[in-house]
Chains A and B, each alone.
Chain A
């Protein structure tokens, strides 16, 4: 079945630094989604991407849908303590279920 490789698995950064994480798929997707999950909560949708090459921002977050349709990345600029959490990428093709990466655990050092 489809697999997503998300990297890095974890990151420790200083407050104010920029963060970059990415996902690659073994097959073509027509949708990429990025979520953030805090402990004990459900994932919260950050950005949705529907078109190859699309670059979308949500505040300090920017995500891109790779032109090969097999990858996506998420950037966080000027990180703050509340950015701490686990970030998940998810993708799907038409008529297939949403597949999730294993997550990137972000820790921010003040």
Chain B
């Protein structure tokens, strides 16, 4: 069974731009979560979706948004990019909400 896929794997953007990251969960998984990973802050929770409904949201500004589609695929968007948004953005899927999560390889975002 294919794992979690994330596109793109690498991205370079300029301050003020916006970016959309995509995540395709493991087939049959209905829950998708997003995390930001930085050397200083570690893994920080962004959002959790189950069957197109946002179940939890982390402590991030409104510039960070996400959604989940009916096929369980998910996207997250960051508007008005700041230098501090440079990070590895990780998506994880699980069979149902509150179950074990499986991570994708991540999208490395660099903001210049």
Which A residues are closer than 8 A to B by beta carbons? 1, 31, 33, 35, 40-45, 48, 88, 90, 92, 94-103
Contact = CB atoms under 8 A, between A and B. Distances in A.
Interface stretch (B64-72, B74-82, B99-107): B99-107
B42 interface: yes
B43 A100 contact: yes
Given A33-B101, A88-B43, A102-B42, A43 B58 contact: no
Contacts of A35: 103
Contacts of A88: 43
Is chain B's interface secondary structure helix, strand, loop, or mixed overall? strand
A96 B56 contact: yes
Interface residues of B, number: 21
Interface of B: 4, 33, 35, 42-43, 45, 48, 55-56, 58-59, 90, 92, 98, 100-106
B45 to A, nearest CB: 4
Contacts of A97: 33, 45, 48, 56, 58
A98 B33 contact: yes
A96 B56 CA distance: 7
Contact of B100 (A33, A40, A94, A100): A33
Given A96-B56, A97-B58, A42 B106 contact: yes
A1 to B, nearest CB: 8
Given A33-B100, A97-B56, A41 B45 contact: no
Residue from the set B33, B59, B98 with the largest chain A CB neighbour count within 10 Å: B98
A98 B33 CA distance: 9
A68 to B, nearest CB: 20
Contacts of A98: 33, 45, 101
B90 A42 contact: yes
Contact of A44 (B42, B55, B58, B103): B103
A87 to B, nearest CB: 13
